[in-house]
């Protein structure tokens, strides 16, 4: 059911004041600057479909300016000669300033993207933790000494890559922007980041906060705009040494091709269609609680969501009925109603795309166990939707929907569950639920995906590497692996 409207507080007011201050410029070299095109893109509130303000539609000439600022900052001793301890302090200062402004950032995110306020608050907490996690790395990026002949001293140095172009999606904007910026800065790089045109507010506000955190100008540059304009200019820019992209697999392939000409280092965090395997000996209550939470979280606009729930055929009907029942109790409504579990989808286009998949599921003969409809006159609301008896080969089981839609797929035995789990072009995440730890670890090893949960789903911690197998991506974010993605190894061979 659709719930009622917002309660306001001081943080809400500060967010509204920031929005009301006028159309947003781009952040280059430590200050707001006008985009050369003079063009803007409307920012629409997904709850009300009303215009909030507008963001700049930057073009290739703006990316040139941002890259020049980032290059100058990268070479300047104020950044390049900074000690690891000072770099740690920079990241801690950003963490502290984000923490001090957490409530306002959370409101901005919910207004811009439509996620429930409790969800955006959890995201801002994660952001603070990300900056603190990466603050620990500058003093721990070790090289190696390698045994050779007695007259040789061979050692390695880990060095920054240079100017990093970063392009992100709209589903958890601040979390994504922060993980990329924190990772790059910890390794001594500088950044030109483009948020998604559908949700840029918190990344722009983060730029301002970083400006207040005494980080040298030009180290972080935030340029808004369309994918085909500002995004494409970043992907092909000869002055950018590395590109890190989060978004769809289709655009990821394009980025990889565009980056080839200048041989940029590339990391790609792409789409998913993650299997969540529930064996009969599992704690079924807990498994279903996590499964529903995962496919409904952020209205299903999560790359690693549990979108294929694989259940033993003997339990299928009972589990389908229970999931439908649980989903029906999840409230859909205003992001600012504390009871809301699902806010609106980010845009009318995304809502229509999701509705198209729901129609395809019905046409393909899957059982619609719950949902399937739009809600409310205004706003991009869609019911949580449960399909059961789904054929793993069907469109709704194979393609990423990026909305609150789950497919429940029966399996015969362990081998069948593994085969179906892996019968996808994606490989981002997955889970196995079983009280038999031998089976759980065996199946976890057999699933071809970058992040597997055992008796859990969707937990996030920066210590845990994240990234895709197959067409879900290239490289890793978080964890020690992410340090490798933002540094390069220099091997020094000294004849003694
Ligand atoms: P998208 O690929 O359409 O856009 C992502 C970003 O790329 C945006 O900033 C967009 O402006 C930019 N872009 C678009 N075309 C471009 C081009 N030709 N050159 C350069 N940049 C371009 O994706 P989306 O709709 O914003 O986000 C949803 C997708 O993101 C889903 O597929 C989801 O799975 C994926 N995603 C993945 C992760 C992950 O970590 N693996 C996390 C979140 C979202």
What distance in Å separates the CA atoms of residue 281 and residue 260, rounded to the nearest whole number?
49
Report the DSSP beta bridge partners of residue 269: 246, 473
pLDDT higher than 50, residue 4: no
pLDDT at position 1 is 40
What is the rounded CA–CA span in Å between residue 334 and residue 45? Answer: 11
Unique residue bearing structure tokens 């707001």: 32
> Which of the following is catalytic: 269, 400, 414, 477?
269
> Region 339-343: what's the mean pLDDT?
98
Cα 125 to ligand 1 centroid, rounded to whole Å: 23
CA 301 to the chain's CA centroid: 10
- Please tell me the predicted confidence (pLDDT) of residue 88: 98
Q: Is the pLDDT of residue 8 over 90?
A: no
pLDDT(210) > 70 = yes
Enumerate residues 6+ apart whose C-beta is below 8 A from 90. 82, 185, 213, 214, 215
CA of 368 to the centre of ligand 1 (A): 29
Element at 280 (helix H, strand E) = none
Topology of the domain comprising 275-461: Aldehyde Dehydrogenase; Chain A, domain 2 (3.40.309)
170 and 196 in contact (C-beta within 8 Å)?
yes
Predicted local confidence at residue 2, as pLDDT? 42
What does 425-442 look like in DSSP terms, one character per residue?
A: S--SEEEEE-S-HHHHHH
Cα 248 to ligand 1 centre (Å) = 4
Tell me the pLDDT tens digit for each residue of 279-295.
999 999 999 999 999 99
341 alpha carbon – ligand 1 mean position (Å): 24
Residue 376's pLDDT band (boundaries 50, 70, 90)? confident
Residue 303 has pLDDT above 60, yes or no: yes
- When pLDDT is averaged across residues 156-176 and rounded to a whole number, the result is 98
- Residue 275: CB atoms within 10 A of its CB come to 32
What pLDDT shows up at residue 6?
A: 53
Q: Distance between CA atoms of 73 and 239, rounded to whole angstroms?
A: 13
**Rounded average pLDDT over 154-181:** 98
Q: Are 164 and 477 within 8 A, CB to CB?
A: no
Q: Where residue 187 falls among pLDDT bands split at 50, 70, 90?
A: very high
Per residue in 116-154, pLDDT (tens digit) is 999 999 999 999 999 999 999 999 999 999 999 999 999
CA distance 293 to 305: 9
Tokens found for residue 81: 């000669």
Per the DSSP assignment, residues forming a β-bridge with 284 are none
Minimum CA distance residue for ligand 1 atom 22: 227
* Percent of the chain scoring above 70 in pLDDT: 99
Are 432 and 457 spatial neighbours (Cβ–Cβ below 8 Å)? no
Question: Which of 227, 273, 294 most suits a substitution to test ligand 1, by most atoms within 8 Å of the C-beta?
Answer: 227
For Cα atoms 244, 114, 403, give the angle at the middle one, nearest 5 degrees.
70
* Model pLDDT for residues 17-76, shown as the tens digit of each residue: 999 999 999 999 999 999 999 999 999 999 999 999 999 999 999 999 999 999 999 999
Give pLDDT, residue 3.
45
**Chain-centroid distance, C-alpha 190:** 20
Closest CA to 379 of 110, 9, 99: 110
60: CB partners within 8 A, 6+ apart:
229, 230, 233
**Which amino acid residue places its CA nearest to atom 35 of ligand 1?**
247
The class of domain 10-270+473-492 in CATH terms is: alpha beta
209 in helix, strand or coil?
A: helix
Burial 358-384 (b: 16+ CB within 10 A, else e): beebeeeebeebbbbebbbeebbbbbb
* Cα–Cα distance measured from residue 380 to residue 344, given in angstroms and rounded to the nearest whole number: 5
Report whether 407 contacts 366 (CB < 8 A): yes
| Same-fold call for 10-270+473-492 versus 275-461 | no
What string of DSSP letters covers 367-403?
A: EEEE---EESSSS-EE--EEEES--TTSHHHHS---S
Ligand 1 neighbours, Cβ below 6 Å, are: 167-171, 194, 196-197, 226-228, 231-232, 235, 246-248, 251, 254-255, 269-272, 303, 400, 402, 428, 473
- The DSSP letter of residue 216 is P
400 flagged as catalytic = no
3-state secondary structure 245-273: EECCHHHHHHHHHHHHCCCCEEEEECCCC
Nearest ligand 1 atom to the CA of 473 is 41
Q: Is 99 a catalytic residue?
A: no
Q: How far apart are CA 301 and CA 142, in angstroms?
A: 37
**Is the separation of the CB atoms in 221 and 234 below 8 Å?**
no
* CA gyration radius, the chain: 23
Mutate to test the pocket of ligand 1, among 43, 224, 247, 298 (most ligand atoms within 8 A of CB): 247
Please tell me the distance between residue 8's alpha carbon and the centre of ligand 1 in angstroms: 32
Ligand 1, atom 26, residue with closest C-alpha: 169
Protein residue with least CA distance to atom 36, ligand 1: 247
Half-sphere exposure of residue 209: CA atoms within 13 angstroms, side-chain side: 24
Query: What burial class does residue 84 get, using C-beta atoms within 10 Å of its C-beta: 0-12 exposed, 13-18 middle, 19+ buried?
Result: middle
pTM: 0.97
Residue 255 has pLDDT above 50, yes or no: yes
Who contacts 482 (Cβ-Cβ below 8 Å, separation ≥6)? Answer: 183, 465, 476
Task: Give the chain's mean pLDDT.
Answer: 97
Domain coordinates of the chain in residue numbers? 10-270+473-492, 275-461
Cα within 13 Å of Cα(298), Cβ side: 23
Give the whole-angstrom CA distance, residue 120 versus residue 106.
Answer: 5
Give the closest residue (by CA) to ligand 1 atom 16: 227
With vertex at residue 470, the alpha carbon angle to CA 468 and CA 474, rounded to the nearest 5 degrees, is 50
- Which mutation among 178, 195, 229, 251 tests ligand 1's pocket best, with the greatest number of atoms within 8 A of CB? 251
365 pLDDT exceeds 70? yes
From the alpha carbon of 198, which atom of ligand 1 is closest? 26
- Averaged pLDDT, 233-258: 98
* Catalytic option among 90, 164, 187, 303: 303
């Amino acid at each position: 059911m659709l719930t009622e409207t917002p309660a306001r507080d001081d943080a809400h007011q500060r967010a509204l004041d920031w929005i009301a201050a006028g159309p947003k410029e781009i952040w280059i070299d430590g200050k707001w600057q006008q985009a050369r095109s003079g063009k803007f893109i409307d920012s629409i509130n997904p709850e009300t479909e009303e215009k909030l303000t507008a963001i700049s539609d930057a073009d290739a000439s703006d990316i040139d300016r941002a890259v020049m600022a980032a290059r100058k900052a990268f070479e300047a001793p104020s950044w390049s000669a900074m000690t690891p301890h000072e770099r740690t302090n920079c990241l801690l200062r950003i963490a502290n300033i984000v923490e001090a402004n957490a409530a306002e950032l959370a409101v901005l995110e919910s207004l811009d993207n439509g996620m429930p306020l409790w969800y955006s608050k959890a995201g801002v907490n994660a952001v603070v933790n990300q900056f603190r996690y990466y603050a620990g790395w500058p003093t721990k990026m070790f090289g190696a000494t390698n045994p050779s002949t007695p007259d040789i001293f061979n050692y390695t140095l880990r060095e920054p890559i240079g100017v990093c172009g970063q392009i992100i999606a709209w589903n958890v904007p601040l979390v994504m922007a922060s993980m990329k910026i924190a990772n790059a800065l910890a390794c001594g790089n500088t950044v030109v980041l483009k948020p998604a045109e559908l949700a840029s507010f918190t990344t722009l506000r983060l730029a301002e906060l970083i400006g207040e955190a005494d980080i040298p100008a030009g180290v972080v540059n935030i340029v808004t705009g369309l994918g085909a304009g500002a995004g494409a200019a970043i992907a092909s820019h000869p002055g950018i040494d590395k590109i890190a992209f989060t978004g769809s697999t289709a655009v990821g392939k394009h980025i990889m091709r565009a980056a080839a000409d200048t041989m940029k280092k590339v990391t790609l965090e792409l789409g998913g269609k993650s299997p969540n395997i529930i064996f009969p000996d599992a704690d079924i209550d807990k498994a279903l609680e996590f499964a529903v939470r995962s496919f409904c979280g952020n209205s299903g606009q999560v790359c690693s969501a549990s979108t294929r729930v694989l259940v033993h055929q003997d339990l299928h009907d009972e589990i389908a009925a229970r999931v439908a029942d649980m989903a029906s109790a999840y409230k859909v409504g205003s992001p600012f109603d504390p009871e809301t579990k699902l806010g609106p989808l980010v845009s009318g286009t995304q809502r229509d795309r999701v509705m198209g998949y729901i129609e395809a599921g019905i046409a393909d003969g899957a059982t619609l166990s719950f949902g399937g409809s739009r809600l409310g006159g205004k706003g991009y609301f869609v019911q949580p939707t449960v399909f059961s008896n789904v054929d793993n080969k069907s469109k709704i089981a194979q393609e990423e929907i990026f909305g609150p839609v789950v497919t429940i797929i029966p399996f015969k035995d362990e081998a069948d569950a593994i085969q179906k789990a892996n019968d996808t072009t994606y490989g981002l995440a997955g889970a196995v639920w079983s009280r038999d730890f031998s089976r759980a670890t065996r199946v976890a090893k057999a699933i071809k995906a970058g992040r597997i949960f055992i008796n859990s789903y969707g937990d996030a911690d920066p210590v845990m590497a994240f990234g895709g197998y197959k067409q879900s991506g290239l490289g890793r974010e978080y964890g020690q692996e992410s340090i490798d993605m933002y540094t390069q190894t220099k091997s020094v061979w000294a004849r003694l």
